[in-house]
Structure 1
Amino acid sequence: MAASPSTARVINDRLALGLLQREGPLTASQLKTLTGLSRPTVADLVERLQDSGLVRVVGETGDRRRGPNARLYGIAADRAHLAALDVRTHSVSVVVADLLGTTLAEATAPIGSETATEAAVEQAVALLERTAREAGAEPLHSVGVGAPGLVDPVSGELRETTGLPAWHRRLVAALQERLPATVLVENETNLAALAEQRLGAARGQDTFVLLWLGLGVGAAVVLDGKLRKGASGGAGEIGFLPVPGTARLPSAAGCEGGFHSLAGSAAVAELAAAYGVSAAAGPQEPPATALVRAAVADVRSAAPGGRPASGRPASGRQDAAGAFLDALADRLAIGTAAVSAVLDPGRIVLAGEVGHAGGAALAARVEDRLALMSPLRTEVRAGTLGGAAVLRGALLTAREAAQDELFTP
């Protein structure tokens, strides 16, 4: 059955907007070539999109020819403003952007562990409002929020999770109350996977698993191009995975004894101490991050014959760092082998602060060990977006929500 004229117009408009978003400003002639539509149809849709405020003339071609230069049409980036929040246990980061995703302003603020719930919520909301105001981006159209913990797949709300601050759950409601914006919340690991798929180490992959290594461990599962959240939103809670090498089994009340006890930040720090690896962590940084980063640096660049402050020969420090990374890779291979056996993802991305610190050196070690444990070929790659992955994923979510609404007449 042929599409009705109104349906055809919607399809054509979305097609043109998608091209303008991906390719940048285009002439009507270029839109005609790329869409395959007739010249009158392109002229009509350009006029419609200009009338709606979504598209405007942003320049002219520089071609030398008889007659006037062709007009360049582009998406009106200021048609809507977006924001993203990365909510951590002791801090919150904010980025404000336009409809094309261009960053207009960003800010980060610590939130102390002793801060009362309402005061913490007020600090986070005020940071967002101030950043948007200073960027000239009020009112906000859509806000994406990335946070640790489970998000209910039915209600879309952040579920109460033991060990996480109460202000996390109150923040989403406060944003909805204070802002005339659509507020979308998602687990931080899932958002990091979205960002790595669109912009980073999983680009072009429709099936992969992102392993988050930070204070705790988690995973995001993408199968056949779709993020899989599970019946209760708990898909990827790999910290609870029973594994060998721990003193006990995990329970419904806590993940101690599961994979968390091998790969969580505290466990990695203990492993580093056992190999004599030490490093000072930065503010709000998981202890394991600095240790892994220092070990990678020692393995790569310790000068033979040099002597660190401790007096140990650089070669000895390098050996210790290499042995620590090998032992950490052994642990990570246990969890990734289970993931590989069940899901056959083809690629596993190591993300989070610790995964980013380990980089290609740690990823290669894990891949080598995984190849010995599983008959299923699985690449292991380090995430490329680092600490920006959650914010980038949250901004992509906000941007898609805004475009879904604005691009549909």
Structure 2
Amino acid sequence: MPSTSPSLPGSPSPMPFGAAPVLRSLNEWSVAAHLLDAGPLTRVELAERTGLALPTVGRAVASLEQSGLAARTGQDTSRKGPAALLYGIEPQDGGLYAALVVTPSDLRLTLHTMRGERLALAQAPAEALPAGAPLEIQVQALANRALARAGATRDRIWHTVISVPTIVDGDGRVRRDLPSPLPHFDQEAIDAIRMDLGQDAAVTVENDVNLAALGERAQGAARGLDDFVYLHVSQGIGMGIVMHGELHRGARGAAGEVSRMPMAGIHPHGPRERELGPLQLALGPTAFTARLTAHGLPADTPPATVFEAAARGDQTCTEIVQAHAAALAQALAGIDAVLDPALIVLGGDLAGHPDLLPPLRTALGALGPRVPEVTASTLGPDAVLRGAEAVAAAQVREELFRRITGA
């Protein structure tokens, strides 16, 4: 029975029953984490990095080998004396992760090792209605191509993250509140994809803009920030909110669905307008096209062309950009007043261009004394995929920890 006698302040507490196995597991996790981040490494290098005694490292490495999680990957001949064995995390049953991005226009799937090395990228145009194949069939074919390129099988994937262009609730179920051109894009299709790529416990389904926000935090403009928002303005409008280092979803998973945010001077009356929402009507493609044609420019002029021409001093494009920036500034001022983020990252072809930032900051300054920190996405269209990969990488790391410690 463990001792219950009190210990002096500042002195170590008596070791409880069962602490030794826990300590061994934590030592193994420390070794595994260093092998993941910096491997392959020798036992001496592991001892230097972990601060553990060499015999302790040896026992941890042997246990990881016996568990099928680590393996000998070669020899280090760079030092004097006998060559030392190198070890790496090489799970016998795979340890791979996958990221799948579904959009109305294209599909992308990547496969990675646990250490983040990309093994394969497969992409294809999405087959749209009315003649397109069911979504799950399209994804299955894409996965087959990626797995063939990687020389892997589905059972070697530990976790898959699926990005979808719609609301996802806390249980990973999709809410289609807008029509989709993808055939059979519904919960049944998502469930079929989940079963094809892994069991339910090994699949995460997430909203695309939320993942773009996490991508910017992992590798982009918001790297390392715990409180920021990512606003995407393109064919649709959405916002990913990161608070205290975590995604904020809201009560029904709809936090960040800002297209329906009220806007001064925008009064949607018809059913279609009410469905799109005031912010979409003020900032979306229809509004931008209307500004183009009102100034005598072709309706299909790319937004980037207009932003760049305005930055060079073109008067017509400057007027268009100023009107667009004024509408965007109104939305950002409301977001800033409610959430007070450290940074607002802008993405999408109608918000994420660097040349839009100077007129946008001017418009924000005209609304009041407080001007929020605003910047453009540094990842662009890759933000969603990078976010999906970051979430999947974290999940396989957690799975490795569970297998080592039993936690």
**TM tier, smaller:** 0.7 to 0.9
1:113 alignment partner, one of 128, 152, 168:
128
Which residue is equivalent to 1:76?
Answer: 90
Q: Cα deviations across residues 97-155 of structure 1 (Å, max 9, x unaligned)?
A: 222222222222223432357633312222222222232121233221111111121x2
Summarize the Cα distance change of 1:275–1:73 in structure 2 as closer, same or farther, 3 Å threshold: farther
Which residue is equivalent to 1:171?
Answer: 189
AA paired with 1:156?
G
2:400 alignment partner, one of 366, 383, 406:
406
Q: Give the RMSD, CA atoms, in angstroms.
A: 2.7
User: What's the offset of the Cα at 1:191?
Assistant: 0.5
Bigger radius of gyration, 1 or 2?
2
Using the alignment, how far apart are the partners of 1:265 and 1:23 within structure 2? Answer: 46
Which residue is equivalent to 2:282?
Answer: 262
Which residue is equivalent to 1:361?
Answer: 355
- Does the 8 Å CA contact 2:128/2:183 hold for their aligned counterparts? no
Tell whether 2:405 aligns with 1:385. Answer: no
- Does the 8 Å CA contact 1:175/1:183 hold for their aligned counterparts? no
Using the alignment, how far apart are the partners of 2:269 and 2:91 within structure 1? Answer: 52
Summarize the Cα distance change of 1:7–1:293 in structure 2 as closer, same or farther, 3 Å threshold: same
Which residue is equivalent to 1:311?
Answer: none
Which residue is equivalent to 1:186?
Answer: 206
Structure 2: 5+ residue stretches without partners = 1-12
User: What's the offset of the Cα at 1:261?
Assistant: 1.0
Which residue is equivalent to 2:149?
Answer: 134
1:294 alignment partner, one of 305, 308, 320:
305
User: What's the offset of the Cα at 1:244?
Assistant: 0.8
1:246 alignment partner, one of 246, 259, 266:
266
Using the alignment, how far apart are the partners of 1:198 and 1:75 within structure 2? Answer: 22
- Does the 8 Å CA contact 2:100/2:108 hold for their aligned counterparts? yes
Structure 1: 5+ residue stretches without partners = 281-289, 303-314
User: What's the offset of the Cα at 1:342?
Assistant: 0.4
Which residue is equivalent to 2:6?
Answer: none
AA paired with 1:75?
I
Which residue is equivalent to 1:203?
Answer: 223
Using the alignment, how far apart are the partners of 1:374 and 1:36 within structure 2? Answer: 54
Using the alignment, how far apart are the partners of 1:48 and 1:149 within structure 2? Answer: 44
- Does the 8 Å CA contact 1:210/1:349 hold for their aligned counterparts? yes
AA paired with 1:346?
A
Which residue is equivalent to 1:43?
Answer: 58
SS of 2:262's partner is coil
- Does the 8 Å CA contact 2:160/2:198 hold for their aligned counterparts? no
AA paired with 2:178?
T
User: What's the offset of the Cα at 1:387?
Assistant: 1.2
SS of 1:192's partner is helix
Tell whether 2:175 aligns with 1:159. Answer: yes
Using the alignment, how far apart are the partners of 2:32 and 2:273 within structure 1? Answer: 49
Using the alignment, how far apart are the partners of 2:256 and 2:82 within structure 1? Answer: 58
Summarize the Cα distance change of 1:323–1:124 in structure 2 as closer, same or farther, 3 Å threshold: same
Q: Cα deviations across residues 215-266 of structure 1 (Å, max 9, x unaligned)?
A: 1111011111111001100000110100113133798994434211112222
Using the alignment, how far apart are the partners of 2:269 and 2:333 within structure 1? Answer: 18
What are the residue-to-residue correspondences of 1:303-318 with 2, within 5 Å? Answer: 318=314
1:331 alignment partner, one of 327, 333, 343:
327
Using the alignment, how far apart are the partners of 2:320 and 2:39 within structure 1? Answer: 47
Which residue is equivalent to 2:339?
Answer: 343
AA paired with 1:90?
S
User: What's the offset of the Cα at 1:179?
Assistant: 3.5
Using the alignment, how far apart are the partners of 2:31 and 2:365 within structure 1? Answer: 45
SS of 1:113's partner is coil
Using the alignment, how far apart are the partners of 1:19 and 1:367 within structure 2? Answer: 44
- Does the 8 Å CA contact 1:124/1:171 hold for their aligned counterparts? no
User: What's the offset of the Cα at 1:277?
Assistant: 4.4
Task: Using structure 2 for the length normalisation, give the TM-score.
Answer: 0.84
Aligned length: 381
User: What's the offset of the Cα at 1:45?
Assistant: 1.6
Summarize the Cα distance change of 1:6–1:254 in structure 2 as closer, same or farther, 3 Å threshold: farther
Summarize the Cα distance change of 1:299–1:377 in structure 2 as closer, same or farther, 3 Å threshold: closer
What are the residue-to-residue correspondences of 1:279-290 with 2, within 5 Å? Answer: none
AA paired with 2:398?
D
Which residue is equivalent to 1:283?
Answer: none
Summarize the Cα distance change of 1:88–1:31 in structure 2 as closer, same or farther, 3 Å threshold: same
Summarize the Cα distance change of 1:13–1:374 in structure 2 as closer, same or farther, 3 Å threshold: farther
Using the alignment, how far apart are the partners of 2:273 and 2:358 within structure 1? Answer: 34
Summarize the Cα distance change of 1:44–1:268 in structure 2 as closer, same or farther, 3 Å threshold: farther
Using the alignment, how far apart are the partners of 2:276 and 2:152 within structure 1? Answer: 44
SS of 1:236's partner is coil
User: What's the offset of the Cα at 1:407?
Assistant: 3.0
SS of 1:334's partner is helix
- Does the 8 Å CA contact 2:260/2:278 hold for their aligned counterparts? yes
Using the alignment, how far apart are the partners of 1:61 and 1:321 within structure 2? Answer: 61
